[in-house]
Structure 1
Amino acid sequence: MLDRRALLLALLLCAGTALAADPLTYGAKAQQLISKGDFVQALDELKAATSRFPYDQELKHQLAFTYTELAKRDLQSGRYAQAAENFRQAHELIPESKELALMRGIALYLNKDYVAARDELLQSGEGSESLVYLGKISYDTGDLPGALDFWRRAKELDPANKVLAGLIEKAERELPVESRMDKGYSSMFDLSFDAELPPGLSAEVLDALESAYNTVGADLGVFPTARIPVLLYTKKDYRSVTAGPDWSGGLYDGKIRLPVGGLTELTPQLRAIIFHEFTHVLVAELTHGNIPTWFNEGLAEIEGRKLFAPKLPQLDAAQEKHLLPLADLSGGFSGMGGGKAWMAYQQSFSMTSFMVQRYGWYSVQEILKYLGQRADMNTAVSKALADYALDLNGVMREWRESLPAAGTGGGSQ
């Protein structure tokens, strides 16, 4: 009897081992995990399975699909380097897939790894989307004619694409101005400037940019590795290129654009604008554009006003009824008239500087980190200020309570 039981147990164990070794079983288990959204565990299962059955095409395609889904999640969360790596793993499993080459190229572009992105996009074929991103790489690296060539070819394939039409129109507006510009360089910046500007001004601007790189980088906790394009315009060219409001003193739209016509040397006000616009560079790097305008502009005002503080009346409790709602401050300011724009910037500065003073730069860095992971502002604040048990409404309440009584503030803020 004992021998028969031992034999039965041995048979069961062998059957279980055979079942576990079956690629269909691995695939089914992985599929269950995928259907539950547990891609990380599914990845472990499928990697183990493909190592045992390296020629099973179904397992290979399941593994590639899992890498792709993880990469898409990374893209949504702003983890561009990790997304590119997961797309690479998927593409190695299905090397004939042009779609995977395209997706990896896009992830590399978003991570500002332009050389690798270009190589990957060129492998993905002559589709409209790959041409759009090849154009973006050319544009971001200062090759406007190259960008226009790619975008015009993309437009032939996708003539109804309004976004593409906007890119072409913008580049065509900039090309006549930028084609006659001189060039200058420093360790992290590529400078283009109007040949009519005083020759010493460009060198002073580069020095200010390098100073901003170190100072603002220390406050926000990030030091970009990709080179940053900066353009100095005459005031007339600045208006024609940017179509910005009359009160605009600078712009960051992927490139720092500054109107400096008429200046012969770097003034404290221009230096402050450089620090202001460079702050937008870092905020974009950290949040990928997922940030309310008031917080973005508030941080930029903090950095700029360290160098040049305008003579502005301080906000006080008596002005509370005139304060702009957060909804108005969360969108762009460029469409505002001068008076409303002044209040928008002053209020943004007041709210954001209060947050820095009350909760510290580390908490601000944490808010930016969560925004970069696609959290909304309230969630980002709640997570970053968990030790204070505060959400965004709580922060705004504390800020309002901090405003001085009417007539006691005075001066500039």
Structure 2
Amino acid sequence: MRRCGVAGNTVTSLSVQRKLFLPLVFLVTLAVISPAFANDPVLHNDYALKLLEQGEYEKGLEHFQRAFAFSPYDETLRKNLAEAYTYVGMRQMEQKLYDAAADSFDHARELFPEAPRYAVLRGIALHAVKRYEGAIHELERARSLGETSPELYYHLGRAYYDSDNLALALEMWEKGLELDPARAAIRELADKARRELALEGRMDKGYSSRFSLSYDTELKSLLAGEILDVLEAAYNRVGADLGYFPDARVQVLLYTKKDFKALTDSPDWSGGLYDGKIRIPLGGATGMTALLRNVLVHEYTHVVVFEMTKGNCPTWLNEGLAELEGRKEFNQPMAELGRVARRGGYVSFQLLERPFSTLSDKQVALAYQQSYALVNFMVGRYGWHKIQEILRLLGTGKPVADAIGVALADYGVDYSGVVQEWQGNMTREYGVPEHPSPE
């Protein structure tokens, strides 16, 4: 029997007043820990539960750690600590802090190395930061420990797919469908992989330090080398502008226009696509052109923006940056923007936050030109360092209005203020609009 310091209270077992961490269905009465009980694992455990109820997850984890340190052979404390790491990791995933989440799940796995769940979670987190080899290692570890769920095969397939192993990706997704044929998401990925395998089976490949290139056999190998050179140059230039250099090798696929349309179902005006891989309809091109350099740099910019923002980027900013970088290679005319600047009728930037595929064909050209013009203005007015800050803030999950407001606070402007300043600049350049803008 061990005597606690609270007057009249006796604790005979560490299992007294203790409940498993997840789900959070408990009531805890302790509000503070007296210094007299600083070495009591039960009180640290119960106080940790209280902190978790209050949303103070990191502090709660700290007290679970203390409780376990005082009684490292207690199985319930071990489980509570592992689940605390897991809960913190899930919160970090929600906040797009994927590296930190991977570390949290790793701590949980260290406590229960034979439990496949923690390896699955760590694999998902590593995949999110494009650490594909690590993700595959963790997910395959979970499989070796007996995990055979459709979720495992879904994520393992994605990791193989993104590491350019279509055959193994398809194999994993087919195993997932064997377990649950109704999983629409897995079936769609499997169907896509089959179509890609049929095309890539007749493709040649090329590699550089940062890129892997798959191209239709109609394309001359000499041009393939020039394409890789353009992309390597883009890696350095776009990286310098945006302050970010991706670690993972970027996959680039060049198709005939017919195959590109059949595979991606992109609108007719699309000159390329980034969906985790750069896909470009090239057909039988025989030489490098300024327009092709524009397209390659444009699509590579999407890679950098996606990684910096973790996909949380309004389309106008994403496309505006890609246009800005691509136009350094080939600056196409801006006829639609000039017409609208003189007559009025800009497309709302709130509308341009959504994919341009939702726009009418008449609006698309203006959408690209308007996005480029605003981003070009922002770079000139506020500097690249502010663009980088906006992208980093978007990467933490902030809405675009909040990201712009925080980054440009020292200029005293918010999202709408930036648009108004840009419109004022357009008016000075093109003259007073005949009709008011919808902005």
- How does the TM-score come out when normalised to structure 2? 0.86
- Relative to total residues, which structure has the larger helix share, 1 or 2? 1
CA deviation profile, 1:284-332 (whole Å, cap 9, x unmatched) = 1111111111110000000001110012225377446321112321111
In terms of mean alpha carbon deviation, does 303-312 or 256-265 score higher?
256-265
Q: Secondary structure at the match of 1:403?
A: helix
Residues 184 and 190 of structure 1 are in contact (CA less than 8 Å); yes or no, is this contact kept in structure 2? yes
Distance 1:40 1:17 in 2: 20
Counterpart position of 1:382: 405
Distance 2:380 2:419 in 1: 14
**TM-fit CA distance, 1:94:** 2.5
Counterpart position of 1:103: 121
**TM-fit CA distance, 1:408:** 5.6
Is 2:39 the partner of 1:46? no
Residues 292 and 329 of structure 1 are in contact (CA less than 8 Å); yes or no, is this contact kept in structure 2? yes
Is 2:367 the partner of 1:349? no
List alignment gaps of at least 5 residues for structure 2. 11-33, 433-439
Distance 2:353 2:78 in 1: 46
Which of the numbers 179, 187, 194 marks the counterpart of 1:172? Answer: 194
Counterpart position of 1:191: 213
Distance 2:199 2:358 in 1: 25
Q: Using a 3 Å threshold, how does the CA distance of structure 1 residues 11 and 374 change in structure 2: closer, same or farther?
A: closer
Counterpart position of 1:331: 354
Residues 317 and 400 of structure 1 are in contact (CA less than 8 Å); yes or no, is this contact kept in structure 2? no
Q: Secondary structure at the match of 1:266?
A: coil
Q: Secondary structure at the match of 2:214?
A: strand
Question: What is the aligned-residue identity percentage?
Answer: 45
| 1:47-86 alignment, distance < 5 Å | 47-86=65-104
RMSD between superposed Cα atoms in Å: 2.1
Q: Using a 3 Å threshold, how does the CA distance of structure 1 residues 407 and 48 change in structure 2: closer, same or farther?
A: closer
**TM-fit CA distance, 1:214:** 0.2
**TM-fit CA distance, 1:204:** 0.2
Is 2:417 the partner of 1:394? yes
Counterpart position of 2:289: 267
**TM-fit CA distance, 1:67:** 1.2
Distance 2:270 2:260 in 1: 10
| 1:10-159 alignment, distance < 5 Å | 19-124=37-142, 125-159=147-181
Distance 1:320 1:31 in 2: 63
Distance 1:315 1:176 in 2: 45
**TM-fit CA distance, 1:255:** 0.5
Counterpart position of 2:28: none
In terms of mean alpha carbon deviation, does 372-381 or 349-358 score higher?
349-358
Counterpart position of 1:367: 390
Residues 294 and 330 of structure 1 are in contact (CA less than 8 Å); yes or no, is this contact kept in structure 2? yes
In terms of mean alpha carbon deviation, does 397-406 or 195-204 score higher?
397-406
Residues 341 and 426 of structure 2 are in contact (CA less than 8 Å); yes or no, is this contact kept in structure 1? no
| 1:199-238 alignment, distance < 5 Å | 199-238=221-260
Distance 2:255 2:423 in 1: 40
Distance 1:406 1:361 in 2: 22
Q: Using a 3 Å threshold, how does the CA distance of structure 1 residues 320 and 111 change in structure 2: closer, same or farther?
A: farther
CA deviation profile, 1:359-384 (whole Å, cap 9, x unmatched) = 11111111111111111100111111
In terms of mean alpha carbon deviation, does 286-295 or 58-67 score higher?
58-67
**TM-fit CA distance, 1:339:** 2.3
Aligned residues: 398
Residues 87 and 104 of structure 1 are in contact (CA less than 8 Å); yes or no, is this contact kept in structure 2? yes
The one-letter code sitting in structure 2 at the alignment partner of 1:39 is Y
List alignment gaps of at least 5 residues for structure 1. 1-9
The one-letter code sitting in structure 1 at the alignment partner of 2:216 is D
Distance 1:315 1:90 in 2: 58
Q: Using a 3 Å threshold, how does the CA distance of structure 1 residues 140 and 318 change in structure 2: closer, same or farther?
A: closer
Which of the numbers 336, 345, 370 marks the counterpart of 1:322? Answer: 345
The one-letter code sitting in structure 2 at the alignment partner of 1:195 is T
Residues 180 and 194 of structure 1 are in contact (CA less than 8 Å); yes or no, is this contact kept in structure 2? yes
Q: Secondary structure at the match of 1:225?
A: coil
Q: Secondary structure at the match of 1:322?
A: coil
CA deviation profile, 1:380-411 (whole Å, cap 9, x unmatched) = 111111212222111111111111347569xx
CA deviation profile, 1:85-113 (whole Å, cap 9, x unmatched) = 10000111133432222111100111211
- How does the TM-score come out when normalised to structure 1? 0.91
Q: Using a 3 Å threshold, how does the CA distance of structure 1 residues 320 and 170 change in structure 2: closer, same or farther?
A: farther
Distance 2:193 2:341 in 1: 47
Q: Secondary structure at the match of 1:101?
A: helix
Q: Using a 3 Å threshold, how does the CA distance of structure 1 residues 320 and 24 change in structure 2: closer, same or farther?
A: farther
